[in-house]
Chains A and B, each alone.
Chain A
Amino acid sequence: DAKTTQPPSMDCAEGRAANLPCNHSTISGNEYVYWYRQIHSQGPQYIIHGLKNNETNEMASLIITEDRKSSTLILPHATLRDTAVYYCIVRVVNQGGKLIFGQGTELSVKP
């Protein structure tokens, strides 16, 4: 079972920041938080990952709380092309490289 909890859906206005929350209260000390997204029925796309520090790349920022029990993915200037299902995943380190996907958050970016 997925170790994360996400809201099923969110809306965001185009050009505004999209903040997608994720709860992972049972995360272990050596587990990473990954974010992927899936646009329509395309293959999931890696966005960002982190262990305990905040991370930023060209796509997004990842804010992880100090207790690591939750995180927020931030898309700073959402566009219509960011409309997708966003998956927050906790990497189960000792069970190989598999990713366990939950239900994700369906983000709708509206004009």
Chain B
Amino acid sequence: DSGVTQTPKHLITATGQRVTLRCSPRSGDLSVYWYQQSLDQGLQFLIQYYNGEERAKGNILERFSAQQFPDLHSELNLSSLELGDSALYFCASSVIGTGGFNEQFFGPGTRLTVL
């Protein structure tokens, strides 16, 4: 158990819908990262937040957005869903946001299926 929790574990929805994925980082971790893992793209970094502020952005679609709240939990919002958004979405957390050493602890993931 990494200490990172993600809800829900599974999510099945229809095209065009909007969903929210939730992540609670390990106690004391200030950074939260979101990754997407699909069969054809592998593990891709989406976005990072550090202490409530966006720190880095990766291949995140404009239909996707995220935020980190004062209690440090984070939510990833996916809207206008398409079939290709079906994937595993992982959240990870770490103590610090930059620097040479940055061990990230990953949650169990949310499996999103868009029908």
Contact = CB atoms under 8 A, between A and B. Distances in A.
Given A41-B109, A42-B109, A100-B45, A93 B104 contact: no
Given A41-B109, A44-B106, A45-B106, A97 B100 contact: no
A42 B111 CA distance: 11
Q: How large is the interface on B (under 10, 10 to 19, 20 to 34, 35 or more residues)?
A: 20 to 34
A98 B108 contact: no
B68 interface: no
Interface residues of A, number: 24
B24 interface: no
User: Chain B: interface secondary structure?
Assistant: strand
B106 A97 contact: no
Contact of A98 (B2, B58, B90, B103): B58
Interface of B: 2, 4, 31, 33, 35, 42-45, 48, 50, 55-56, 58, 88, 90, 92, 94, 96-109, 111
Interface of A: 30-32, 38, 41-46, 49, 51, 87, 91, 93, 95-103
